[in-house]
Structures are given as structure tokens and as C-alpha cells.
Amino acid sequence: MPNSLRWLLWPVIAGLVAGLAIVALRQPAVPAPLPASSSAAPGYASAFNRAAPAVVNIYTSKVVQTPRSSVFEDPILRHFFRRGNPAEREKVERSLGSGVIVSDQGYLLTNLHVIQGADEILVLLQDGRQSIARLIGSDPETDLAVLKINLPELQPIALGNTPQVQVGDIVLAIGNPYGFGQSMSQGIVSAKGRYGLGLTNYENFIQTDAAINPGNSGGALVDHEGRLIGINTAIYTQSGGSTGIGLAIPADLALRTMKDIIEYGRPVRGWLGLEVKSVAPQSNGVVISAIMPGGPAAKAGLKIGDVIFAINETPVGDGHAGMNEIAATRPGSTVSLDFARAGERQRLDIVVGIRPAPVAASG
């Protein structure tokens, strides 16, 4: 090629190269593929795997007598039904719920309403094993029951620190909703210390929006690491299904109740032998409305009309907090009461007694 022609083509070639470079710069960059992750996606599988072997499905049955048809009132037909009561027939009622293994010796916690009146209680474990459970004892005042099964190599649930649970913490509800089998739902702690619902005498519920449905009762409410913080007990609903308001008994209260039932046959609660009512809405303090003769309060010199403001220097609120404080105090311990009588503030130490067992309703 002549040198003159070569010099004429160089500007053209340079222009083409520059144009191609500009076009390349305008193309969107394609990201390089990310290296495969060696860890699992974020979730709560490890918490479920840790807790689920300790959560059981409970199936109960009981035989009830139901009325027969009025046709059996016919004297001729009655002649053929001389054995038993011809006006009644037997029917087997079945129900379901959940429970939590809390000891490698086979002790389980569940709700009393799950197994109340049952003639037989069948427990089904996650690994497929099953066992007939024995009722050790129950506490109607907290709706708790203690069962025992005899199986080897049980895996009890790990225990969390219930007092440190805060509103907003992630929680997981594990149980047997509608008898579908073991399931888990996820939510947060919506509130603590819920009471005044009329469900039990000692109400101090953890509220959660984790889905709790019929069959979940008696199951586990666990933290994000699979540690027990509550026993799922009830839902607030008008439809019968979950509405985002579930209630669980705090694990520390449930375990304390279980220990007493195993050791003494019933819960052992502190008692002062008095009745109180709130001073006024939204104000701290309760006024003594009744005193049991011979009880700790009477022996200490408290009187009707005294206004209690604090127990062990902790405000009593509207009385609920104070009642729980005394109930959780072991009998024989001493508590300090700040109260007012005729406008004069005083402090008094009282030895806590044993709360009498509730009187069973007569049939």
C-alpha cells in the first residue's frame, strides 16, 4: 500500500476504534455471578429442630353417657333393655392438644383443659413413638397439668430466660393445630403481663401474634433459639381461629407449678389471708376489704381499710402484681409491706403463709 494511502486511512481506523469504545462504555455492566454460599438461608430451622423433638401431640378420649331417643320410654321396648339404663347410651368423645417434654424422666407440661376428664391420654412424639400418659396432677388456677410417659431417650426442651423476654422479641409457636400434626408459626411478643381476662385465677400471660389455633393448647412458645419461654394456652377470637392474639403461660410460672405438683401433689403458693380491691383506676395501691381470721395478715396486725402501696418496695399497681408477688413467695419467707392507715404511712414485715387448696365445686 502506498504510504500516502496509509496515512489517509489512519484517521478512519482511529475513529472506528473510538466509536466502538464509546458504545462499549454505554452498555450496562453485567454483574459477575456470586459464589455459592456455604450456609443455609436465614430462618428458624435450627430453632425448630432443637425444640420440636420435645413437643408432643396429645389425643384424649372419654366415655360419656348420652340420652337415647324417647322411643325407649315405651314399656315394651324397656323390657328388652333390662341391663343398664335404657334411656342412656355410651359415647366416646375425643379431643386433641399439645404438650412439652420438660424432663428426661418423662414429665410433660400441658393445659388442664386439654386433658380434663379424659379416660385415656395418648402422647405421640415427633419421632413416631407413642405412649399412654399418666396424669401426675393439675392446677385449675393456672390451667396447667403435669403428665408422665415411660419412654427411653427422651429429649427435653431447652429452657429460656422468661423474665428477660421483651416486647418485640421473635417467638415461635409449636404444636398440633386442628390435629394436622406438628407445625410451627412465627411472630413476636406483643405484650407481657396480660391479665383480667377471666381465664384463670393467676393470669400473667405472654401475648403473641404467632398463629395459635385449636390444638396448639399445651404446646411450646419458644425463642429464636428454640428455648422454652411459655406454654401456649388460649387465643382471643370470635371466629374460633387465630386472630393475632395468642396467650401463653410464662415458662417460669409453669415450671414452678410443675415442680410443686411433683413434690407436694399440688402447687404451694404464698398467702397473706386478705382480700383487696383497687383504690382507684389507673392509680397505685389497694385497700384491704377483708382479713381472714388467724391468717398471716391478721396475726401481723393489718386492718380492714389499710391501703397497701408496695410489697418489698415494689408498687402493687391495681393489686394483680401484688397477688402474683405473694403467690410466688415461698411460705415461711418474710415480705415487707408499705401501707397507710388513717393517712399515716407505715411499714410492716409479715411471714407468708401457705395458700389453702381451692375448694372443689360440689356436683
pLDDT at 170: 96
State pLDDT tens for residues 264-286.
999 999 999 999 998 877 788 89
Please state which of the ranges 172-176, 231-235, 277-281 shows the lowest mean pLDDT.
277-281
Question: Could you tell me the fold of the domain covering 162-264?
Answer: Thrombin, subunit H (2.40.10)
Span of 37-46, 250-259, 295-304, 307-316 with lowest mean pLDDT: 37-46
CA 155 – CA 338 distance, rounded (Å): 46
Per-residue cell: 147: 403428665
Q: How many other β-carbons are positioned within 10 Å of the β-carbon of residue 148?
A: 16
Residue 318 pLDDT greater than 50, yes or no: yes
pLDDT in tens, 140-157: 999 999 999 999 999 999
3-state secondary structure 146-207: EEECCCCCCCCCCECCHHHCCCCCEEEEEECHHHCCCEEEEEEEEEEEECCCCCCCCCCEEE
Classify domain 270-354 by CATH number.
2.30.42.10
**pLDDT-based confidence at 208, cuts 50/70/90?**
very high
Q: How far apart are the C-alpha atoms of 43 and 48, rounded to whole Å?
A: 10
Of 131, 185, 190, 217, which is the active-site residue?
217
Q: Is it the case that residue 69 has pLDDT exceeding 60?
A: no
Q: Is 79 a catalytic residue?
A: no
Q: Where are the domains of the chain?
A: 162-264, 270-354
**Which position among 98, 113, 183, 318 bears the catalytic label?**
113
**Helix H or strand E encompassing 264:** helix 251-264
Give the range with max mean pLDDT: 77-81, 163-167, 281-285, 321-325. 163-167
Distance CA 190, CA 245 (A): 8
Q: What is the pLDDT of residue 25?
A: 42
143 counts as catalytic: yes
What pLDDT, on the 0 to 100 scale, is given for residue 94?
Answer: 82
Looking at residue 301, its pLDDT comes to 95
187 strand-pairing partners: 171
Band of residue 320 on the pLDDT scale cut at 50, 70, 90: confident
Q: How far is CA 329 from the centre of its chain?
A: 22
DSSP classification of residue 303 = -
DSSP per-residue string spanning 81-133: --SS-TTEEEEEEEEEEEEEE--TT-EEEEEHHHHTT-SEEEEE-TTS-EEE-
- Amino acid 77: pLDDT: 54
Q: What does the radius of gyration of the chain's CA atoms come to, in whole angstroms?
A: 33
Nearest to 126 by CA among 43, 8, 220: 220
Residues 98, 131, 143, 209: which is the catalytic one?
143
Distance, CA of 223 to CA of 57 (rounded, Å) = 20
C-alpha grid cell for residue 66? Answer: 348420652
Has 224 been annotated as catalytic? Answer: no
Residue 175 — very low, low, confident or very high, per pLDDT cuts 50/70/90? very high
